[in-house]
Structure 1
Amino acid sequence: MSVQQISLSGRKMEVSNKEMTFLERIYVWTILKGLWTTIQHLFRRKVTIKYPEEVREMSPIARLQHMLMRDDQGRERCTACGLCALSCPAEAITMKAGERKADEKHLYREEKYAEIYEINMLRCIFCGLCEEACPKEAIYLTTSKKIVKSGYEREEFIYGKDKLVMPLDMAIKNTQTNTVN
């Protein structure tokens, strides 16, 4: 029997060239261990659910859907600073800044706004770092039960401002509930 040390990607690993016994060569012990594991799992609670009929409860801290927020006057909060895109570890956020025109003061808070704002949901890992990085609290990960829908085309998973911006009626409702309380 000889023991060698080989280096795989900077790590050292000992390799043994020991001759295998007869039982090891026919893998009986390995097969028995696998059978024992299978028998143990037969008597445990099942983890799978019948999806369309049963729906698993979501965690109360689950982050499910992105939303670009509006302020109390219904204007978009995003100023296209790009901090959310920089903080995204999956590089799922892309944006292009634009200058606000004089007749668009009712749409955007600042002089600069996100002309194009896209999130690639296939790349997003829903970590919430974009939400933490935003100084204007413009992006928010909702805890509602709205999940990213399935689809057949890659383009269906690139969410633009049309899918991300908070609906105006929702912004008005939020403003009214804040002023009442």
Structure 2
Amino acid sequence: MADQKKPDDDGEKGGFLSDLFAPIAGFGVTFATMFRKIETQEYPEEKRPTQLRFHGRHQLNRHPDGLEKCVGCELCAWACPADAIFVEGANNNDAEGERFSPGERYGRVYQINYLRCIFCGLCIEACPTRALTMTNEYELAANNRADLIFTKEQLLAPVLSGMLPAPHPMVEGMEERDYYQGKVQGATDEQREWVEQRGGDTVVDEPHETPVEHREAGRYAGEGRP
């Protein structure tokens, strides 16, 4: 009975050794990092390129003839977990042919509050028309909080060569689904004539933003929740 080992002897010995070497094991990562080559980025002079699927600033896209892809359905706003998006839809003026989108409605007011946005991309998944995508732009710093609430004119894709600034009629003979099937390749002569009669610009040499006449001073994105 005297030669029997107590069951707690080995446990106490192992516990003492583990406590003794615990600080050394904890500093192992620190010491390994100290002797590792430091990679310094000379930002902002040298910027590291982002990946193709990087989640950066949002963009509201256009169809090849210049009409907006957004139909004002507000699904992106409903999908946003941070309540960072505010959309107010309006009906297109079919009587006069003034269309901003090929759908029944368009996004009259569109705001994204980047003070709330977490860049999760759920709004992109919810968009049924592929109107909202995320770019590789990540420099969104500002000195004023109000400057981080982006409006539609800031998010809207520029008018490229071959496009016409909205509003203008759809391509003659085309329906809404034809736009999403890729059958529209650019603005037609009939659309250009309509814009000329309206007194708008029909020649786009360089990309530029389309002025939005319906700027809304309503509630900002993110004010829906406390």
TM-score norm. by structure 2 comes to 0.55
For 2:214, the equivalent position in structure 1 comes to: none
User: Is the 8 Å Cα contact of residues 68 and 78 (structure 1) preserved in structure 2?
Assistant: yes
TM superposition shift of 1:46:
2.7
Inter-partner Cα distance in structure 1 for 2:103 and 2:90: 11
For 1:152, the equivalent position in structure 2 comes to: 143
The CA deviation string for residues 57-105 of structure 1, in whole angstroms up to 9 with x for no partner, is 3223212221111122211121111111111122211111222234462
User: Is the 8 Å Cα contact of residues 66 and 139 (structure 1) preserved in structure 2?
Assistant: yes
Q: Could you say if the C-alpha distance between residues 151 and 49 of structure 1 is closer, same or farther in structure 2, counting changes exceeding 3 Å?
A: same
Residues 1:111 and 2:107 aligned together: no
2:159 to 144, 152, 168: 168
Secondary structure at 2:54 match in 1: coil
Q: Could you say if the C-alpha distance between residues 87 and 120 of structure 1 is closer, same or farther in structure 2, counting changes exceeding 3 Å?
A: same
Inter-partner Cα distance in structure 1 for 2:114 and 2:125: 18
Q: Could you say if the C-alpha distance between residues 140 and 110 of structure 1 is closer, same or farther in structure 2, counting changes exceeding 3 Å?
A: same
Residues 1:41 and 2:33 aligned together: yes
Residues 1:142 and 2:135 aligned together: yes
Structure 2, gaps ≥5 residues long: 1-18, 164-184, 187-226
More strand per residue: 1 or 2?
Answer: 1
For 1:100, the equivalent position in structure 2 comes to: 92
Q: Which has the larger radius of gyration?
A: 2
TM-score norm. by structure 1 comes to 0.67
Q: Could you say if the C-alpha distance between residues 104 and 85 of structure 1 is closer, same or farther in structure 2, counting changes exceeding 3 Å?
A: farther
TM superposition shift of 1:133:
1.0
Inter-partner Cα distance in structure 1 for 2:141 and 2:161: 25
Identity of aligned residues (%): 35
For 1:123, the equivalent position in structure 2 comes to: 116
Structure 1, gaps ≥5 residues long: 1-23, 177-181
User: Is the 8 Å Cα contact of residues 70 and 171 (structure 1) preserved in structure 2?
Assistant: no
Number of residue pairs aligned between Structure 1 and Structure 2: 149
Letter of the 2:123 counterpart: C
Inter-partner Cα distance in structure 1 for 2:161 and 2:54: 21
User: Is the 8 Å Cα contact of residues 75 and 107 (structure 1) preserved in structure 2?
Assistant: yes
User: Is the 8 Å Cα contact of residues 85 and 130 (structure 1) preserved in structure 2?
Assistant: yes
Inter-partner Cα distance in structure 1 for 2:111 and 2:47: 30
TM superposition shift of 1:160:
0.7
